[in-house]
Amino acid sequence: MRAAIEAARIAEDNGDVPIGAVIVCENRIIGKAYNQREQLQDPTAHAEIIALTQAAAARQNWRLNGCTIYVTLEPCPMCAGALVLSRMDRLCYGCSDHKSGACGSLYNIVGDERLNHRLEVTAGVLAEECKEQLQNFFERRRDENAEPKT
């Protein structure tokens, strides 16, 4: 998770929401990414999606069974769906997302028994650190956009 938090810092430095993702297989990082929606002007450029693409390229296989993804924020419905489709074994995430989390908070796509694959989920890994990173980013963003006091 520390590597995902470091990746999230890069997103923040680039003006994007600080979310990072790292995919590990056989104790080796095969995908590491951060949000790039603002940088690429792409609504699908979430950290998880980019990390999945990197991991699939590293394995030369879209099936990522045997892999674990570490994400600083609970994945959204799009990313949760992509994790299911990738056949990822395990998801570990930092803080929950009660507005759009799809891995237990708002929805539970990764655990839905109607789908052909489910992931083992570990929530709350370095949750406070992940939460603070996001809160500090949005607090600074609000301060930058605030009207000057007269």
48 noted as active-site residue: yes
Six-digit token string for 73: 């924020």
Cβ neighbours of residue 15 closer than 8 Å, sequence gap 6 or more:
38, 39
Distance CA 49, CA 47 (A): 6
What is the DSSP secondary structure assignment for residue 148, as one 8-state letter?
P
What is the DSSP secondary structure assignment for residue 35, as one 8-state letter?
-
User: Residue written as tokens 């603002």?
Assistant: 38
The residue from 26, 48, 128, 144 that is catalytic is: 48
Which positions are catalytic? 48
